[in-house]
Structure 1
Amino acid sequence: MDVDWREVSRVALPGELPHTPATPLTALAFDVHQDLIWTGNDFGRVKSFYGSELQRYTGYRGHDEGPVRSFLFSDRGVVSLGPKSIHVSHRRGLAKAHIMSDRMFDLRCMSYTSKGTSEVIAGGIQKSLLTINLDRGTVINEIPSEDDIVLMRRDRVICCGTATGSVNIIDPNSFKIIKTIRAHGASVSDIDAQNNILLTCGYSPRQSGYVLDPLVNIYDLRTFRSLPPVPFPAGAAFCRMHPKMSTTGIVASQTGQFQIIDIANPNVVNLRQANVSNYISSLELAPTGDALALADADAILQLWGKPDKMRFTELSNPVEWPSAPTPRPNIDFNENTPLSAVGMPYYREPLLSAWPSHMVFDVGKPPPKIDPEILAKMKMHDFVGYAPNPRRTRRYQVESTKVQEKPGLVQVPKFRSEKAREGESEVKVEEDDAPWNTPAADSRLSEVPAMYHKVEIKYSKFGVDDFDFEFYNKTKYSGLETHITNSYSNPLLQLLKFTPLIRNYALHHTARNCLSETCLLCELGFLFDMLDKANGQNCQATNFLKTFSSISQASAMGLFEEGMPRSNQSLSGMIQSLNRFLMEKIAADFKSCAIADRDELELENALITSSMTCIKCSNCGTETMRPSNSFVRELAYPKKGKALGNFSSVLKHSIERDGQTRGWCDKCRRYLSLTTKKVVQEVQPRVLMFNAAAVTQEAKMYWAEKNWLPREIGIVVQDKKFLCYQGAELNRIKERNPNVVVYELVGLVAEITGEADSAPHLVGMIDVSYSSVEGRRESSWHLFNDFLVRPVSQSEAMNFAPSWKLPSILCFQQKAAANAIDNSWKQSIDTGLLFKDIPLAPTSERCRSLTVDESPMPGTIVAIDAEFVALQKEEIEVKADGTRETIRPSRLSLARVSVLRGHGEGEGTPFIDDYIHTREPVVDYLTLFSGIEPGDLDPALSKHALVSLKVAYKKLWILVNLGCVFVGHGLLKDFRIINIHVPKEQVIDTVDIYFKKARQRKLSLRFLAYYFLRENIQTGNHDSIEDANTALRLYKKYLEFEDAGVFERMLNAVYQDGKLTNFKPPGENEAALAAAAAAAEAKAETKPGGPGAGGTMVMHGLDGNGSRPITPADGGSGINMTKSPPPPMQPLFKTQLMSPPLLPQQPQMQAPHQPQLQQLQHHGFHPQQVQQQQGHHPMAGMHQGSPVPQNQQQQQQTAPVQHRSFAKVMASPPPVSPQKRSMQGRWR
């Protein structure tokens, strides 16, 4: 208590009636959750006052049978005790429960039990103690008591002051009396217990009656020994322990004198005198120790403290004040007025009509109405009607009117495409609208809250991009997707990401030159960097899980989901085994790529706990010591029957575990019983990982206790003894012993069970403020349920319910290392991989590696394209009504990636063109879209120089972190499959550049190249170099248009003209090709120029086998070239700004044979374009060959032209007006 404490305010409480005097207060208490003071009087009336001004807040009558005796508080409301009832109400005064029983005679006091705020124990002037369940509102147990209980306080145990002057110490679990302390000669006046210290005040009999003792008795609750009492000559009537200072207390007399006492130094005297006109009836100290409230017999309430430092609670919840009344609207209400005109009031509590799920049952629905058409044709025979069946459904098919919902899953939102169709694309889902945002009032309830339910991805015909992930996550912390093998590890990966030391080691290791394909530490670094850059967007751990799935040791340990029977091991057991395996693996990975010898053990020392196992033979007594180091410690709980200890005692028992085993004794030369004991040498790990191992019922009882898991623990090793502290004991030890290492809880992984028809799953509870770059201000706990991420309270995160929520993994880190985020790895990235020479291969002649002068810098433009193969086909469920639903999409893998220079002399030249070696079997090479042929990814058969997925990925990762800007077409999907996140400012996507939102259609790369570049690409298989180069040139063309100020005009033109050909280059329309082929065959039967005719036209393309040009020898017929002048050209598009491609009118031509026609169609030619007389009128952007003179046919047959683009053969531009020609020259 500070020296400048004084009376801050006082208020006189009114009487029960307007002209009656006030009665003394019988109960006084500070709220532990809000800045409120609660009072109770003889008439059972409860009143509360707010803040240091003692502003009146609520008032209600809680008990009608007598005075209010005691108060208890929880986050749900206020519990008051009367002689024959217990009343539970909201802080606003609304009653929640009123519990009465014929076993309640004269209750005086109550306290919470070990089961938290849902159960209390009450006693009084009666022969039994009662335990009452507040949730059910019933008395669940009655414990006989020989003494009359007048006061009750709880610390580690429950202390009960009796009317005979003794204090009974009761176990909070068994409710048995552990110890009885004879404190005073008569009744106990007041007691308080805190930090294992008990203070008592009481009466002693004298000749004139009972007199207050002039001493305050002090007892140690750990040993139940009496400590030196503190004298108080004025007569100790009230006593309170200071909530923050463990050896400080306050003693007060009935006359208003109170003294601050120090148990450790009783000679220090600090006295105060309250200005009272009558005796003091109640006294209470605030939970913060910053305020003192006292009331006298005249019903005057005083508040003492320091005016500028007046707080009742540490973390005060806001007080809910009544809203200002709004004027009632004038509603003209009559029989035609709809009820919706009245509206609904704003509410925050569940409505009475919102019944819980266990009270709602399905009932039989009335039969559907019969179609009037059927009734009109119905004929009656006796009392039976019959009519013909209109056959509106298929045979054996009925229409179901009930929507079947998959139980156990959170209701999924609408797809983005559905929202766009319904005009909801701009509607934001409010955070309170989501079903899981309903606050869980008590995590100990048996019903699983919605936010813990298992979430699944739903797929529409547009794939995963159509799923609304934002509905589940409105934070800046990214979640991880499911539907990936072994994705049960998602919560553990998130926990490691938010552990600063592990994150730093992973990213620094990834920035080095490690190229091991099985290095999980590198994959963690890639994943952590992706989660940081995503900034709340959904991510997936595809590459990490693929590498993890390739490790045979993990398979032998049963860590894979596939092929593992769940009956052998629970999901919690799997994640704990994975935790143990992962810690050992990343330490070994770090050691394998250490820069210096001194760095080899750096990560291992940060994770490992060094200890020695002492093995003693029970026969000869020989002791041997063996090193026993561990990365992960498993909690070991005391056996059944032992007292329930706190977390630190369980942790100490787990570290220094004693055991019995049978083994070989070298001295006795036989197998004997051996005793083992672990001895910790020193505490050096900076990160402590624990497996909870809460399997037995006894272990689950520990986690059932509220707030059993501490936020901080302190560990010190002295004389080879392991000591662990928590709570107030830790604060006291830190002042005395500077060697105490304080660890703080970073987060945990919990298993969620108990959902109906749903398998168990894992979630993460993580304090994200621990790894904040900005520095830590206050705790910020978040739930990570795969891709569902939402903030939760610390109490919600650190409390458990054995029926559905139990911890699996706990992660502590040294408190001194909080927010130690090291991003210096970005300046030390090893970029040597970009400058390595390209391996000699037939396909590498176009690729040239970077030189030192071409080192990428922030803003360097590169063009990229990637090709993929399918490793698994999509899973589709066909329902009874014929609809198809995608259960799981096809799984694609990176097969080829090409990166080109975006500027300079080598613009368009690739410096990365990697084919990726795929170890998994390929189910579909997607050759038509990827250009990958069977055998291209097999080292034994491929003609390409193959690299591992990690090498190809790391090159891209280096470019991303160097600040390169990637240009491409449709990069969003490419980056998703590659499993890399590139910031938006480093992506230039031509899909988005050439897109008008109003048109709701995105243009293909092939059509854009045809329209703007006058080239026909992708005529055969796809080529990633060609696609990347085309995207780069389209971007350059966009810059030209922007510089000329005509981009919007050109964009409107491409949409307008593209509708004429369905946004496809001419020659792609199969219907037009088929019609032209039929017309050509009809003409071939009536016109000359059949087989053997001259005038052969050679197409500059390969035949169906891809080996040589097409000649008359292939089909036995050439194409007859007529001598008439070329027909006039008609424009295909209306817009002539860029001289777009022109299509000729239908010329007279000889019908080619079927093989030739198929080849022409394959290369995108219209049958009407294959014949002209002497000149060649080209189509800009179309791959069309030129007529070949007769004397040159033989030469072309022997030396075929291997052009990929057919547009390089003598093309003359179409006629353009002088005006347009000048504009055209400017844009070029």
Structure 2
Amino acid sequence: MEADWDELSQIQLPPPASHPLPTPASAIAFDTHQDLLWTGNDFGRVTSFFGPELQRYTSFKAHTDGAVKQLLFCDKGVISISVRSVHLSSRRGITQWHLTADGGYRHDGFKDLRCMSFTSKGVHEVLVAGCQDTMFRIDVEKGTITETLQAEDGYTLMKKGGQYICAATSNGTVHIIDPLNFRVVKKWKAHKEWINDMDAKSDFLVTCGYSRRQMQTYILDPFAYVYDLKTLLPLPPIPFHVGAAFVRMHPRMSTTSIVASQSGQLQVVDLMNPNTANVRQVNLYETFLTGLEMAPSGEALALSDSLCSVRIWGSPTKVRFTDQSQPTEFPDHTLPHPKLDWSADTPLSTIGMPYYRESLLSVWPNHFIFEVGAPPPKVDSTVLSSMKKAELGHWAPNPKRTRRNQVSKRRVIGRDSESLMAPKFLSEKARDKSENKEVPERRMSETLEALTDMMLDGSTKKDVPVMYRNVEIKYSKFGVDDFDFEYYNKTEYSGLETHITNSYANPLLQLLKFTPLIRNLALHHAATACLFESCLLCELGFLIDMLEKANGQNCQATNFLKTFSGLSNAASLGLLEEHSPNNALTNMIQALNRFLMDKLTSDFRQMSQQPSHLDHALTTAAMANIRSTYTHELVYPPKNPMKNPLRAPRATFSQILKASVERQDQNRGWCDRCKRYQQLAARKTIQQVPPILMINAAIHSHDAKQLWATPDWLPEKIGIIVNQGQFFCYEGQDLEHHLRRNFYDIQVYELVGLVADINSGENQKSHLVSMINVSPSSPDENQTQSSWYLFNDFLVRPVAKEEALRFDPSWKLPSVLTYQSVKASHHIDDSWKDRLDTSLLYRVWTPPQEPDAMPTDFVPLKAGEPVTPGTPVAIDAEFVSLQREEIEISASGTRETIRPSRLGLARVSVLRGAGPDEGKPFIDDYIAISEPVVDYLTLYSGISPGDLDRATSKHALVGLKVAYKKLWLLLNLGCVFIGHGLPKDFRTINIHVPRPQVVDTVDLYYIPARQRKLSLRFLAWIVLQEDIQQETHDSIEDARTALKLHKHWQLVEEDEGRAVCDDMVRDIYKRGWEVGFKAPGARLRSAQQQQQQQQQQMFTEGGRDTPDAMRGMETPRGAMTPVRPGTAKGT
């Protein structure tokens, strides 16, 4: 440092966009290739300055997870490191590669990175380490991790000197590492506490650090300690009485170093003669130094201070940052525009156009659409249904689903841009396949998989992975059956559909299904004689059985949610979406969790007054004055501002759970001793814990969100000890320690799954998903490895454990957690199938007005008439419309079905398929419906108004649960169902029948290449020579006809072989084209209906009403107009 060295320039670091104040430099470094000074701040932003004047050059956001810890330079650009990511950018700020623990090129080992150093391969490889037990070798050229190494300690600083890498630990020790094999060859205890700064050059290493003095305070050591890297021995220290804080070795003079204090004193010292020093002082006012760096040329010093300033020291006559600097690339200078004389009289043609070879930006194409307005919002269906006529128009009460003066956004542009794109309809795929079109479906699927796996760096809402976003069912003219659910789920686990009211409960229902104890108890209860209409436990058992039988096919919780929506206390608690449109879903699902646990246990008790197994599985027993609870809500400790947040231990999940279970509540109540109301403190004293822990996360504060953002904070296993009223919870190494000691009776729990709240961004509403470990619910006891799946309604896909248990406060937080005792894992109890209570099948309902009246052909099951596996039964069901479909017509005139019509089961008939009473019904139930019926569909269902009303019906009405349970019993007894068009019937009934138990005459008499399925009426006419459905549909007649068609097929196949059956079907199709696929009676009625429509149209349009006109429209009985093949459609 020459005598003329002084401060040349000073600049404050620019603030990031979201912060109005400057930010301090967390890292500074001189570029080794160009005259640039680089800085990093606490917000992950990297900024560079050119020359000694510190002209701002580039600035970019390199990290989203904290401060920039260190900077290194190579030919390709600048390498920066933060706690959970490593980044390489060109000097212009363009990202070359990014390695992170949260997204991009993901690596879960990045937990607390602090430092890095080039290896023996020079600038082509970097060694990354931190306060963690692993280090990583990164190929700078490829941006990939080539090797993961075990670290002997956590490292905070790294410098390469001589033939070694010097790494400083958090306890004041320096590890000398061989850069060839990365083994520690020497350890040197330099300081008592920690090392604040160090530098290495040639054969010398100099360190500055802290020691603890009296009164437990930390002060800088008055020495800078020196270490010889050639002999691996310490040298005499450099005295520095004001406290050595920073040190840098001179790049040209190998034995010269510069030591600085926090107060700004600089000393240039020769290591071989430390008693002689050149002392200078930096002018600091109300601040202190935070960093020191020397230029590679040795001609400049950079100093950063606590007031966010960076200073350059050097000689005013000669300052270079590098000896042989490469030219720095700057933007081209913009030439000024020529001055024009402009006035109101200047012709526009005198203004010339520039020469151009490409289209100008001002030439907008015709397909550009600029939205200047939007259609008014659709009127809510509840408003339309409650409208009353007034003198001027209609009026209805305000449902109050939004806040005052709040309107919904109606802009089309940008809406739903973040949603998952729906696949082609099944009908479109079949058409493309038949036309031999090359459909890039496989590439689309691969693209979807790539998008789902993509996790962009950072935690902004736009970076939410595609698999977490809202999924939506699209409807074609063929309804929901045309939607390709398999596109979203290629696993063996079924998802749940979303177009049902209160389907926000889907994730919690999936979680209960994969909890073996709840699954077993629900199925065992469903197999009993329980007939209570409001029993949710039965409905849960039916739903679980359907999900298991579906084996990956989509299902819907229609019956469960319908029963749940009909509970009065569910509405009063704000658990229904239509009554609580503005409530946060995470709050609703936690309230639903509490409600369901209480309701399921009370439903279980209805069949037994004794303490139930479900009580034992869910109830946490406490003191007598505290009522038993089924769920627990986590309580998070408040942050103590007096403690040092950097050194305060972070609370663990087990500590939070213990404090939540044993928390003390303050309530105002009546005191018998004082005879007045007082503040009473109630504390739970735990006596026994259940094998299932249902936990509400209850995240209401910023501190709680930050806890969940901690990597690996949620443990997969916890251990609980209850001893003398004390509750103890352990995880991790503490749990392993207690298991090894085996001193206390510790109960170990494993995480079955969780419900997470997903906030996908501005254009999407918040929704819920479940992350479930399916391993505990597997009957295979050898499956000990966890297997996590994401259940996003009907989107199901496997995910890594780290992804399932990773949370981000900006878009993903848990709502409900489920832990189950490991003793209950893999215990799948299917003995309920052998204990089915079948008494319901033999019970007969008669009309209340005529107790002795029964259908003429109805023969109930006899006591000695068994139902065994393989028993054939014919079935048909009739439905009524409970809600019309919702259709949206766009500005272009296209119609889009938003929600299909909702049907309700009105009648179901089941006939014997074999035996002496073959073809006779033993089930013919009419279902009582309490909801408003918008259309009885009498022409197709045979149901008339009043048939389903208990007060006016002449039929014996039963509840939906009774009719459903009869079919469910037949299904689990192994019956084979025969019918026509059964999949749609089963879907509306909300039951899943495996393919081996279904014989559908639609599929028997079907040629896939023709893409047309034949109606039951046409098949009865052409195969059986019967004319059915003459007036309306009758379920007994339809079921009997399907049974006859099946018997006819069996007879032909047994007598003449399958080839003759195929020829028979081809002849049926040939004859069908000739008659328009309609039976003669159907054609006649169709012609008569068409004639009536033409007459009505003629009268409406004012045509003449003369006998001649009427005579011209007459159609002789049995005559028909020839129908061109392909123009008529079967019914």
TM-score, L = length of structure 1: 0.58
CA shift, 1:701, in A, is 1.4
User: Partner of 2:588 in structure 1?
Assistant: 574
Amino acid in structure 1 at the alignment position of 2:523: L
SS state at 1:905 partner: coil
2 CA distance for matches of 1:825 and 1:467?
35
Post-superposition Cα deviations, 1:131-185, rounded to whole Å, max 9, x if no partner, equal: xxxxxxxxxxxxxx9963489xxxxxxxxx98669589xxxxxxxx9987999x9
Does the Cα contact within 8 Å between 2:571 and 2:579 map onto a contact in 1? no
Q: Give, in angstroms, the shift of residue 963 of structure 1.
A: 0.7
1:923/1:1075 CA distance change after superposition, 3 Å:
closer
Q: Distance in 2 between matches of 1:576 and 1:1066?
A: 60
Distance 2:484 2:216 in 1: 58
- Which of residues 964, 969, 977 is equivalent to 1:966? 977
Q: Is the 8 A contact 2:170 2:194 kept in 1?
A: no
SS of 2:686's equivalent in the other structure is: strand
**Corresponding residue number in structure 1 for 2:893:** 882
Pairwise CA distance, 1:626: 1.2
Letter in 2 for 1:811: T
**Larger relative CO (CA 8 A, sep 6+): 1 or 2?**
2
Q: 1:655: which partner in 2? A: 661
Matched, 1:539 2:550: no
Q: 2:107 aligns with which of 75, 83, 88?
A: 75
How many Å separate the matches in 1 of 2:140 and 2:870?
63
Q: Deviations over 1:956-994 (max 9, x none)?
A: 000111110000000000000000000000000000000
The aligned runs of 1:461-472 (5 Å cut-off) are 461-472=477-488
In structure 2, relative to structure 1, the CA distance for the partners of 1:1075 and 1:492 (3 Å cut) is closer
Give the aligned partner of residue 1060 of structure 1: 1074
Alignment-mate amino acid for residue 1050 of structure 1:
M
Q: 1:930 to 1:369 in 2, by over 3 A?
A: closer
Report what 1:627 is aligned to.
Answer: 626
Identity %: 50
Go from structure 1 to structure 2 and tell me whether the alpha carbon gap of 1:109 and 1:587 turns closer, same or farther (over 3 Å shift): same
Shift in alpha-carbon separation, 1:125–1:774, aligned structure 2, 3 A? closer
Q: Secondary structure at the match of 1:844?
A: coil
Q: In the TM superposition, what are the counterparts of 1:1183-1222 in structure 2 within 5 Å?
A: none
Say yes or no: does 1:609 pair with 2:620.
yes
Tell me what 2:448 maps to. 434
Aligned runs of 1:352-363 on 2, under 5 Å? none
Which residue of the other structure, out of 832, 853, 870, is the alignment partner of 2:881?
Answer: 870
Matched, 1:688 2:693: yes
1:789 partnered with 2:796: yes
The amino acid that maps onto 2:195 is D
Q: In the alignment, which residue of structure 2 is the partner of 1:1215?
A: none
2:709 paired with 1:709? no
- Residue identity matched to 2:725: K
Q: CA deviation at 1:854?
A: 2.3
- CA drift of 1:627 comes to 2.5
Q: 1:770 to 1:1028 in 2, by over 3 A?
A: same
Query: 1:999 & 1:607 partners in 2: Cα distance?
Result: 56
In the alignment, which of 824, 827, 846 is matched to residue 820 of structure 1?
Answer: 827
The answer to whether the Cα contact below 8 Å between 1:419 and 1:425 also exists between their aligned partners in 2 is: no
The amino acid of 1:577's aligned partner reads A
2:732 is matched with 727
Query: 2:807 — aligned with what?
Result: 800
1:1061-1084 CA-to-partner distances (Å, cap 9, x unmatched) read 110012433698469989xx9xxx
* Residue identity matched to 1:433: T
Partner-residue secondary structure (3-state), 1:807: strand
C-alpha distance 469-91 of structure 1, shift in aligned 2 (>3 A): farther
* AA of the residue aligned to 2:425: F
- CA 422–403 in structure 1, closer or farther in 2 if over 3 Å, else same: farther
Superposition pairs of residues 885-904 of structure 1, within 5 angstroms: 885-904=896-915
What SS does the corresponding residue of 1:1057 show, helix, strand or coil? helix
Superposition deviation, residue 83 in structure 1: 9.2
Q: Tell me how far 1:841 sits from its aligned partner.
A: 6.7
**2:681 alignment partner AA:** T
Superposition pairs of residues 884-963 of structure 1, within 5 angstroms: 884-963=895-974
Report the aligned-residue RMSD.
4.3
Distance in 2 separating the partners of 1:650 and 1:939? 54
Which residue is equivalent to 1:349? Answer: none
Letter in 1 for 2:665: G
Structure 2 stretches lacking a partner, 5+ long: 1-71, 76-87, 92-98, 129-135, 146-153, 159-166, 174-191, 199-205, 238-359, 369-411, 642-647, 1096-1106, 1122-1131
| Residue aligned with 1:681, SS | coil
Aligned to 2:762: 756
Shift in Å at residue 581 of structure 1? 0.3
Taking the aligned partners of 1:934 and 1:956, their CA distance within structure 2 comes to: 25
Q: Is the 2:941–2:1032 contact (alpha carbons within 8 Å) kept by the matching residues of 1?
A: yes
Counterpart for residue 48 of structure 1 = none
Q: SS where residue 926 of structure 2 aligns?
A: strand
TM superposition shift of 1:601? 2.4
* 3-state SS of 1:633 partner: strand
For residues 475-490 of structure 1, the aligned pairs below 5 Å read 475-490=491-506
Q: Which has the larger radius of gyration?
A: 1
Instruction: Tell me if structure 2 keeps the 8 A contact 1:746–1:813.
Output: yes
Give me the whole-angstrom Cα distance separating, in 2, the residues matched to 1:426 and 1:1025: 44
CA gap of 1:405–1:558, structure 2 versus 1, over 3 A, is closer
Query: Which among 366, 370, 374 is matched to residue 368 of structure 1?
Result: 366
Paired residue for 1:148, among 195, 200, 204?
A: 195
How far apart are residue 855 of structure 1 and its match? 1.2
SS in 2 for 1:853: coil
- Name the CA distance, whole Å, in 1 between partners of 2:885 and 2:962: 28
Partner of 1:747: 753
d(CA) in 2 for partners of 1:1153, 1:92 = 90
Displacement of 1:673 in angstroms is 2.7
- What TM-score, normalized to structure 2? 0.62
Structure 1 residues without counterparts, runs of 5 or longer: 1-41, 46-59, 64-70, 99-106, 112-119, 127-144, 152-160, 169-176, 190-202, 211-361, 371-401, 613-624, 1082-1150, 1170-1228
1:1164-1175 equivalences under 5 Å are 1166=1118
Q: In structure 2, do the counterparts of structure 1 residues 708 and 178 end up closer, same or farther at CA, with 3 Å as the change threshold?
A: farther
Instruction: Give the conservation status (yes or no) of the 8 Å contact 1:1073–1:1167.
Output: no
Alignment match, 1:589: 603
CA contact (8 A) 2:170 2:193 kept: no
Give the structure 2 partner of residue 524 of structure 1.
540
Partners of 1:712 and 1:181 lie apart in 2 by 42
- Answer whether contact 1:765 1:784 (CA < 8 A) is retained: yes
Distance 1:717 1:180 in 2: 42
Q: Does 1:678 align with 2:688?
A: no
Q: Give 1:254's aligned residue.
A: none
Matched residue, 2:69: none
Report deviation, 1:845. Answer: 2.7
User: Which deviations, in whole Å up to 9, do the C-alpha atoms of 1:1182-1211 show, x marking residues without a partner?
Assistant: xxxxxxxxxxxxxxxxxxxxxxxxxxxxxx
Q: Which residue of 2 aligns with 1:771?
A: 777
Structure 1, residues 467-507: CA drift from partner, whole Å, max 9, x if none?
01011001000000001000000000000000000000000
Q: Is the 8 A contact 2:909 2:924 kept in 1?
A: yes
Amino acid aligned to 1:585: K
Quick check: 1:975–1:981 contact (8 Å CA) kept in 2? Answer: yes
The one-character-per-residue Cα deviations of 1:423-469 (angstroms, maximum 9, x if unpaired) are 26997646533255324377856521111100010000000011010
Which residue does the alignment assign to 2:180? Answer: none
Kept after mapping to 1: 8 A contact 2:455/2:464: no
Per-residue deviation at 1:698? 1.8
What is the DSSP-based 3-state SS (H/G/I as helix, E as strand, rest coil) of the residue aligned with 1:845?
coil
Residues 1:417 and 2:438 are matched in the alignment: no
Q: Is the 8 A contact 2:195 2:208 kept in 1?
A: yes
* Aligned-partner residue type, residue 786 of structure 1: D
SS of match in other structure, 2:561: helix
Aligned partners of 1:1032, 1:543: CA distance in 2, in Å? 28
